[in-house]
């Protein structure tokens, strides 16, 4: 069902603000918004097994916690897709396959379209077609960066880099306005492979230094530029 006019306008604004899509021509952003439907998710699973590649999501509000099964068959969170970011990359490819799972973290709003519709738009629109490989490359670079961090970076730096990565896709200037991340400390700890108590301790240190503010189920970045100095080097968008 097509989105109503207020919903369409909200979706269009979200695509235009997203750091992933905002540089597309206005006509392309209009087409993406027209092909999308606004969907509201209550906390809980968003899709069934092996279904992620069939749908494209752009998060407008809230967050999707993306998990990957480990060798024991347990779902381990690997990222929080927040406002301005998209899920999932496999939907951009014909015959894309993924084993990821996603759940809504609290109430979440997303612009949703079937993956086949997104790919059909890309085949007709040169600007969107040119963007797709860049989106895939960014997700691949992010995966490599997080893997490298797990091997070589200490927890304080890994934590800061993950917080910045979560915030970049919202389209906000890291040194400008406050950025809100909707992510629990428990999920953040599992993403970093650390105990919740240790992550909480590190977050408290960052809060005491004025870098962030901790809320219930969310973290507010207050000093993006100072956090970037702690992160060191390039930080990927998520």
206 falls in which pLDDT band (50, 70, 90)? very high
| Average pLDDT for the chain | 87
Closest CA to 187 of 30, 65, 61, 12: 65
Q: What is the pTM of this model?
A: 0.83
29 and 92 inside one domain: yes
Q: Identify which of 183, 176, 172 has the alpha carbon closest to the alpha carbon of residue 223.
A: 176
Together in a domain, 207 and 115: no
Q: Are residues 36 and 114 in the same domain?
A: yes
The residue out of 115, 139, 163 marking a domain boundary is: 139
- The reported pLDDT for the residue numbered 205 is 94
The separation between CA 216 and the C-alpha centre of its own chain, rounded to angstroms, equals: 19
Number of domains in the chain: 2
Separation CA 28–CA 26 (nearest Å): 5
Alpha helices in the chain (DSSP H): 5-17, 26-34, 115-124, 126-152, 155-168, 185-192, 196-208, 224-231
* Residue 201 included in any domain: yes
Q: What are 20-29's pLDDT values in tens digits?
A: 999 999 999 9
Domain around 159: 150-231
Flag whether pLDDT at 111 surpasses 90: yes
**Does residue 237 lie within any of the structural domains?**
no
Residues 79 and 195 in one domain: no
Q: Does residue 30 sit within a domain? A: yes
């Amino acid at each position: 069902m097509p989105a109503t006019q207020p919903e369409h306008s909200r979706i269009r604004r979200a695509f235009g603000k997203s750091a992933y899509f905002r540089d597309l021509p206005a006509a392309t952003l209009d087409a993406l918004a027209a092909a999308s439907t606004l969907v509201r998710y209550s906390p809980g699973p968003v899709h069934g097994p092996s279904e992620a590649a069939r749908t494209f999501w752009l998060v407008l509000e809230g967050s999707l916690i993306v998990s990957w099964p480990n060798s024991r068959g347990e779902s381990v969170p690997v990222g929080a897709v927040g406002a301005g970011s998209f899920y999932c990359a496999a939907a951009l490819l014909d015959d894309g396959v993924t084993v990821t799972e996603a759940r809504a973290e609290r109430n979440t709003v997303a612009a949703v379209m079937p993956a086949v519709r997104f790919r059909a738009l890309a085949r007709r629109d040169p600007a969107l077609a040119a963007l797709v490989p860049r989106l895939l490359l960014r997700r691949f670079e992010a995966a490599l960066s997080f893997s490298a961090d797990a091997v070589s970076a200490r927890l304080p730096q890994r934590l800061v880099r993950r917080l910045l990565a979560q915030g970049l896709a919202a389209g906000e200037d890291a040194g400008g306005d406050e950025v809100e991340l909707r992510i629990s400390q428990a999920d953040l700890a599992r993403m970093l492979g650390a105990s919740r108590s240790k992550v909480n301790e590190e977050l408290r240190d960052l809060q005491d230094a004025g870098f962030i503010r901790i809320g219930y189920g969310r973290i507010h970045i207050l000093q993006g530029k100072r956090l970037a100095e702690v992160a060191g080097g390039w930080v990927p968008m998520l």
